[in-house]
C-alpha cells in the first residue's frame, strides 16, 4: 500500500483516473466535490485522518452530477459529507473508527451504504434530499447514536424503482424524526439497542407512505409519536417478547395496519386513530394497552395471545372483545368476555376498598357501593358455577355438588335433629325428589309438606341453587349461538 499526502490524494480525485486503490493517506482530506471528476471509485484505502467532502449550496450545480464510490476502506477519524450533490454516493465495507460519521444538507440521487462498521460516537444523516434511492444495508453502529432527521425522500413522482430501505442494521439510540418518507420504506430485520434502560428509540413526526417494519427487533423501548401512515404499513413478525416495549402515541393510520405474528413484551396505543382495517392475528404480547384510540373499521384480533391478560385494563379488553364480535369470531369473543368479567371484578374490589378509606364522601356513595357489592356477588357465583356461562361440565358438577350439600343438610336436620321417624330414611330416594324443581313436598314423605321453617328455608335455597345451575348449564351449551 503506497503512502501519500492528502493533497496528492485530492489530485488523484481531480484526474481522470476512475479507480483509486491501495493508498494510505497520512493526513486529513477536505475537498469540494465540484472539483473532482465525474466518476470516482476509491477502494482498499487507509485514511489516517478525517475525510471531509464540503460543498457550497450557493454554487450552481452542474448538469451532470458526480458519482462517488468508496469501498473496502478504513477511516481512522471522521467522515463528514456536507452540502454536496451526487447522482450516486456509495459507501460499502467501510470502517469508521472515531468521532463523527455525518451526511448533512446534501442533494443526492442515490445513497447506497452497505456493510458499514461505525465505531464513532455519532452517526447522523440530517437535512438531506434523496431523489431516488436511500439504502442502509448491514450497518453496525454499537457505539454511536443513530440520527435520521429532517430528510425528504423521493420528492418527485412515484416510480417502481424509488424506494427507501434500512435493512439488517444494528443501531443504537435510534432517533428518526421529522422525515418525509417517499413512496416506499422498508425498515426490515433490524436490531435496535439502547445505551441504557432510561434511553428510548423514537420515530417522531414522520410521514410514511407504504412502509414495512418486518422482523425488526425494536430493543428495550421504542416510541412512534405523532407519525402519519398514509398507506398500508406492516409491523409483522416483530420479535423480542422478553423486553420490547413498543408504543404508538398520537399516530394516524389512514390505511391498513398489520401486526400479524408479532411477539412483543408490551404494545401500547395512546390517542391513535385507525381509519382502515387493522390486523393483530396470531400475535403474542405479554401485555397490551389501548387508551383513547379509535378503530373506525374492524380490527381483527383472531388467535391473539396475551400472557398477562389479567393485568390489562378493562377498556383494552372491551375494545378487543367488541372487534371480535364485529368480525363474528365467537370462539375468541367468549374468551375475552371472561377476561372482561374478571377485569370488572378486580375493579369492583378496588372501588369497594377505596370506598372504605373514603370516610368523608362515603355517605354520597352508599347506593353505588351497594350496587358494586351485588355485582361482585353475581360475578363470583357465575364465575364459580360455569366460568360466566362457558363451561357446561363445571356447571353440571356444581349443580350436583351444591344440590347434594343442601339436601344432606336437610336430611341431617330432619332425621338427626328433629328426629322425624315417619319419613322414608333412604338417602337416594329423597335426593332424586329434591332435584325435581317443581316438587316442593317433603322429599321424605308422600305428598306432605315440611312442617319446620328452617327445613323450608334449606329446601327453597337448594331449589334455587339447582335451578341456577341448570340455567348456567343451558347458557354454556348456547355459548356459540348468536
- Residue 359 pLDDT > 90: no
Question: Could you report the per-residue pLDDT of 187-213, keeping only the tens digit for each?
Answer: 999 999 887 766 789 999 999 989 999
Per-residue confidence band for 253, with pLDDT thresholds at 50, 70 and 90:
very high
Q: Which residue has the higher pLDDT, 417 or 408?
A: 408
| C-alpha span between 374 and 270 (Å, rounded) | 33
* Cell numbers linked to 13: 480525485
pLDDT score for 11:
86
- CA dist 103 → 67, 432, 477 (Å): 16, 87, 66
**Lowest mean pLDDT segment, chosen from 347-361, 368-382, 413-427:** 413-427
438, 459 contact by CB (below 8 A) = no
Which pLDDT score, from 0 to 100, does residue 17 have? 81
- Give residue 229's pLDDT: 96
Bridge partners, 207 (sequence order): 180, 228
Query: pLDDT: is 444 or 299 the higher one?
Result: 299
Q: How confident is the model at residue 162 (pLDDT cuts 50, 70, 90)?
A: low
DSSP state of 383: H
Lowest mean pLDDT across 12-21, 150-159, 174-183, 429-438: 150-159
Provide the H-helix boundaries in 152-233: none
451 has pLDDT over 70: yes
The whole-number pLDDT of residue 122 equals: 84
Q: pLDDT: is 161 or 94 the higher one?
A: 94
Return the SS3 of 141: strand
3-state secondary structure of 171: strand
259-311: pLDDT as tens digits: 999 999 999 999 999 999 999 999 999 999 999 999 999 999 999 999 999 99
Query: Looking at residue 305, what is its pLDDT?
Result: 95
Give me the pLDDT at residue 155, please: 60
Q: How many residues would you count in the chain?
A: 482
Mean pLDDT of the residues in the chain: 88
Q: Can you give the pLDDT at residue 142? A: 86
- Least-confidence region, from 32-46, 370-384, 414-428, 438-452: 414-428
* Cα distances (Å, whole numbers) of residue 200 to 76, 98, 321, 437: 29, 24, 31, 64
The Cα–Cα gap between 120 and 100 comes to 5
Better-scored residue on pLDDT, 69 or 160: 69
Query: What's the pLDDT at 423?
Result: 58
Distance, CA of 458 to CA of 409 (rounded, Å): 8
pTM: 0.85
Looking at residue 369, what is its pLDDT? Answer: 82
Helix/strand/coil for 169: coil
| pLDDT tens per residue, range 32-88 | 887 777 778 899 999 998 889 998 755 555 556 788 899 999 998 889 999 998 889
Residue 475 scores a pLDDT above 70 = yes
387493522: which residue's cell? 278
| Mean pLDDT to the nearest integer, 85-100 | 87
pLDDT for residue 121:
80
- Characterise 431 by phi-psi region: left (phi > 0), alpha (psi -120 to 50), beta (else): alpha
* Average pLDDT of the segment spanning 310-332: 93
Residue 119 is predicted with a pLDDT of 84
Instruction: Report how far Cα 269 is from the mean position of its chain's Cα atoms.
Output: 8
- What pLDDT, on a 0 to 100 scale, did the predictor assign at position 57? 57
Q: How confident is the model at residue 421 (pLDDT cuts 50, 70, 90)?
A: low
Residue 347 contacts residue 318 (beta carbons within 8 Å) = no
Amino acid at each position: 500500500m503506497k503512502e501519500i499526502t492528502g493533497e496528492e490524494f485530492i489530485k488523484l480525485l481531480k484526474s481522470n483516473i476512475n479507480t483509486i486503490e491501495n493508498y494510505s493517506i497520512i493526513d486529513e482530506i477536505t475537498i469540494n466535490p465540484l472539483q473532482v471528476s465525474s466518476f470516482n471509485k476509491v477502494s482498499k484505502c487507509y485514511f489516517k485522518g478525517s475525510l471531509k467532502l464540503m460543498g457550497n449550496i450557493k454554487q450552481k450545480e452542474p448538469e451532470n452530477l458526480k458519482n462517488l464510490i468508496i469501498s473496502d476502506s478504513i477511516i481512522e477519524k471522521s467522515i463528514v459529507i456536507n452540502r454536496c450533490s451526487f447522482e450516486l454516493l456509495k459507501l460499502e465495507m467501510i470502517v469508521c473508527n472515531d468521532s463523527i460519521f455525518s451526511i448533512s444538507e446534501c442533494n443526492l440521487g442515490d445513497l447506497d451504504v452497505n456493510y458499514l462498521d461505525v465505531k464513532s460516537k455519532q452517526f447522523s444523516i440530517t437535512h438531506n434530499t434523496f431523489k431516488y434511492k436511500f439504502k442502509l444495508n448491514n450497518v453496525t453502529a454499537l457505539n454511536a447514536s443513530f440520527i435520521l432527521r429532517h430528510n425528504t425522500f423521493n420528492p418527485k413522482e412515484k416510480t417502481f424503482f424509488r424506494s427507501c430501505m434500512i435493512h439488517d442494521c444494528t443501531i443504537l439510540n435510534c432517533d428518526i424524526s421529522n422525515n418525509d418518507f417517499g413512496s416506499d420504506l422498508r425498515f426490515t430485520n433490524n436490531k435496535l439497542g439502547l445505551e441504557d434502560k432510561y434511553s428510548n428509540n423514537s420515530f417522531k413526526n414522520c410521514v410514511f407512505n407504504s412502509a414495512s417494519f418486518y422482523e425488526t427487533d425494536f430493543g428495550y423501548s421504542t416510541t412512534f409519536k405523532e407519525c402519519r401512515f398514509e398507506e398500508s404499513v406492516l409491523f409483522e413478525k416483530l420479535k423480542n417478547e422478553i423486553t420490547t416495549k413498543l408504543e404508538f402515541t398520537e399516530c394516524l393510520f389512514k390505511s391498513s395496519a398489520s401486526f400479524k405474528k408479532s411477539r412483543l413484551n408490551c404494545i401500547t396505543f395512546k390517542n391513535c386513530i385507525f381509519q382502515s382495517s387493522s390486523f393483530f392475528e396470531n400475535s403474542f404480547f405479554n401485555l397490551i394497552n389501548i387508551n383513547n384510540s379509535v378503530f373506525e373499521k374492524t380490527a381483527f384480533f383472531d388467535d391473539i395471545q396475551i400472557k398477562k391478560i389479567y393485568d390489562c385494563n378493562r377498556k383494552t379488553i372491551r375494545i378487543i372483545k367488541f372487534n371480535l364480535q364485529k368480525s363474528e369470531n365467537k370462539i375468541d369473543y367468549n374468551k375475552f368476555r371472561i377476561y372482561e368479567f374478571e377485569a370488572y371484578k378486580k375493579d369492583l374490589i378496588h372501588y369497594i376498598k377505596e370506598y372504605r378509606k373514603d370516610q368523608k364522601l362515603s355517605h354520597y356513595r352508599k347506593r353505588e357501593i351497594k350496587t358494586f357489592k351485588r355485582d361482585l356477588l353475581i360475578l363470583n357465583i357465575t364465575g364459580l358455577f360455569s366460568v360466566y356461562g362457558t363451561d357446561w361440565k363445571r356447571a353440571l358438577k356444581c349443580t350436583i355438588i351444591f344440590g347434594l350439600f343442601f339436601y344432606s343438610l336437610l336430611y341431617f336436620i330432619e332425621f338427626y335433629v328433629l328426629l322425624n321417624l315417619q319419613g322414608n330414611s333412604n338417602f337416594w330416594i329423597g335426593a332424586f325428589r329434591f332435584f325435581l324443581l317443581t316438587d316442593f313436598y317433603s322429599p321424605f314423605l308422600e305428598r306432605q309438606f315440611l312442617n319446620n321453617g328452617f327445613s323450608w328455608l334449606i329446601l327453597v335455597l337448594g331449589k334455587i341453587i339447582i335451578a341456577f345451575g341448570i340455567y348456567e348449564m343451558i347458557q354454556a351449551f348456547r355459548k356459540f349461538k348468536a
